[in-house]
Amino acid sequence: MSIKTSMIDVQTNVELKSLNTLSLNSVASHYVQIDHKDALLDALSYASDNKLNVMILSGGSNMLLPESINALVVHMNIQGIEYVAEDESTHTLRVGAGQSWHDFVLWTTAHQFYGLQNLALIPGLVGASPVQNIGAYGVEVGEFIRLVEAYDRKEKCFSQILAADCKFAYRDSIFKQDPTRYIITHVMFKLLKQPELKINYGDLRAAMGNELTAENLEKQVIQIRQSKLPDPKQYPNAGSFFKNPIIQAAAYEKLSIQFPSLPHYDQGNGTVKIAAGWLIDQAGWKGNRLGQVGMFEKQALVLVNYAQANLNDVQATYRAVQQDVVQKFSVLLEPEPVLFNSAGLIQSHSI
Ligand code: EPU
């Protein structure tokens, strides 16, 4: 069924399987796609008139969905890349939340706007990029954001949040901390006129060879990702399933006596980030499955739905991984994707 108002077209009983990259079976009682900022207000009124919770859906690449959701699923699909301004060293662009992230990165490189090349091939949409401050190969998106435009559900108005107020940190921001407050409509990026290549991460420098250009950097990042990370179309997944744990330096020292080859990155503030992929691998889970859900054979940090799994199957696998890692290393891995309940609300991952 479809309920049309002047600006929006609300559909009922909509299958979300193709809209989440883990391909979990999930049906939304109500669903609306939003192509313009103004339509968002209509959708919010519709939800409030019909006493429905609102659940925001972006690219679905970082979500764990239950089999049925009784809520208004608001699918943010605002398109467009606008050139806003320039100064001596940067270009400012305003991009719709529904724009594909990877296509946007390719577009910036083609137009010689620099900074985002390390973030090529990350799944998802532009509007979700600030939420968990997506990062890869030594770059986090927050470094290149000028401001985020969002509807503020607390103040009931559209607002602009400067990057300095977004509290960007490792896979974190105010949008992640306070998920029911803001609905992101656009992101304003500040990109460099001259490339400043960041190629110190892992084997990136070697992969670059002598061609030290932003174009080659993007190409190499794409190649490295394709060699390790499964394509969600072939192996449904949500990228890194767990965060790399950040532990106290003293706890790391203790672990390193028993496990000297544990990959680690000193955070410079008395804490150390350790590689979750290595922990999972050493706990015997690389390429291992429980039922139809397992950890990928080329990168143990990525959980894959190998068949027709539902949320319970995913939970059984990741909890088994957590338990084995705790047993071996006394470290509790925190899942990265956001878990939703059947009322469309965010839930904690507690075991
Ligand atoms: N490792 C193993 N076995 C594995 C996987 C990794 O021993 O199965 C070891 C690697 O050899 C390496 C270390 O663990 O020494 C770290 O692995 P890698 O460099 O591949 O990166 P990662 O920590 O596993 C993080 C991000 C990725 C991002 C890459 C590159 C997180 C949670 N993940 O992965 O982000 O692409 O670095 O920057 O921070 C994502 O968030 O979805 C994502 C893919």
Ligand 1 centroid from CA 137, angstroms: 9
Q: Which pLDDT value is given to residue 111?
A: 98
Q: In the annotation, is 350 catalytic? A: no
Q: Which pLDDT value is given to residue 349?
A: 87
Paired tokens of 141: 């998106």
Sign of CA dihedral 200, 204, 208, 210: positive
81-196 sits in which CATH class? alpha beta
**Do the domains at 81-196 and 230-347 have one common CATH topology?**
no
Q: Which pLDDT value is given to residue 3?
A: 66
Q: In the annotation, is 171 catalytic? A: yes
Protein residue closest via CA to atom 37 of ligand 1? 136
SS3 string of the chain? CEEECCCCEEEEEEECHHHCCCCCCCEEEEEEEECCHHHHHHHHHHHHHCCCCEEEECCCCCEECCCEEEEEEEEECCCCEEEEEECCCEEEEEEECCCEHHHHHHHHHHCCCECCHHHCCCCCEHHHCCCCCCEECCEEHHHHEEEEEEEECCCCEEEEEEHHHCCCECCECHHHHCCCCEEEEEEEEEEECCCCCCCCCCCHHHHHCCCCCHHHHHHHHHHHHHHHCCCCCCCCEEEECECCCEEEHHHHHHHHHHCCCCCEEECCCCEEEECHHHHHHHCCCECCEECCEEECCCCCCEEEECCCCCHHHHHHHHHHHHHHHHHHHCCCCCECCEEECCCCCEECCCC
How many whole angstroms separate alpha carbon 68 and alpha carbon 33? 18
Catalytic one among 61, 129, 173, 240?
A: 240
Q: Which pLDDT value is given to residue 1?
A: 67
Ligand 1 binding pocket (C-beta < 6 A) is: 136-137, 201-202, 239-240, 243-244, 263, 275, 277-278, 281, 286, 299-301
Q: Taking the model in full, what pTM does it have?
A: 0.95
- Under a CB-based contact definition with an 8 Å cutoff, are residues 306 and 296 in contact? no
Q: Which pLDDT value is given to residue 203?
A: 86
Q: Which pLDDT value is given to residue 121?
A: 96
Query: Cα angle at 157 between 96 and 98, to 5 degrees?
Result: 15
Q: What is the mean pLDDT of each run of 10 residues along the chain (351 residues)?
A: 76 98 98 96 97 97 97 98 98 98 98 98 97 96 98 97 97 95 98 97 92 98 96 96 97 97 94 98 98 97 96 97 98 97 93 53
2-76 fold = 3.30.43
Ligand 1 centroid from CA 25, angstroms: 28
Catalytic one among 26, 58, 61, 171?
A: 171
230-347 fold = 3.90.78
Structural domain boundaries in the chain? 2-76, 81-196, 230-347
